[in-house]
Amino acid sequence: MTDLRSLSRVLCVCIVIGGACGCADGKPKRYPVSGQVKFQGKPLDQGTILFLGEDLASGTGSAPIKDGQYSTSAKDGLLPGRFKVSISSADPRNQAPDPDSPPGYLPVPKDRIQSKYNALTTLSADVKAEGPNVFNFEVH
């Protein structure tokens, strides 16, 4: 009977130590996110997607958009929670500086995505630990 109790104690200690080792860096687990972004019915050629945690503890995350696709690794992913989503893309036709502008002046490129999808975003995403966290968006 004493051997059984000792074995139980050893197993409990191993479970506790094993659980602590799984979180050795002390950081909460992040989850990858991915998806597609369409602009006027076609894959968005380039841009950025930003996830802003509605709860400050959720933090933020971002990913580049290329050919309508975006993704993050688990290392660069998001904590579980609700996020506001902001999508922006500089108008490629607005890259050259005005020849009449002062030397060294570069204009801020105009965003071709409507403000309701970035500065005044109405988009959101719920990141879950169960995953997969795939979020697709259509913007104008």
pLDDT in tens, 43-81: 999 999 999 999 988 999 999 999 999 999 999 999 999
Tell me which residue has tokens 């991915």. Answer: 34
pTM of the model: 0.75
Task: Give the span between the Cα atoms of 39 and 41, in whole angstroms.
Answer: 5
Task: Give the span between the Cα atoms of 97 and 109, in whole angstroms.
Answer: 10
* β-bridge mates for residue 69, sequence order: 36, 66
The residue ranges of every structural domain in the chain are 28-91+108-139
Task: Give the span between the Cα atoms of 48 and 59, in whole angstroms.
Answer: 17
Domain 28-91+108-139 sits in which CATH superfamily? Carboxypeptidase-like, regulatory domain (2.60.40.1120)
- The reported pLDDT for the residue numbered 120 is 97
As a whole-number percent, the residues of the chain with pLDDT over 90 amount to 64
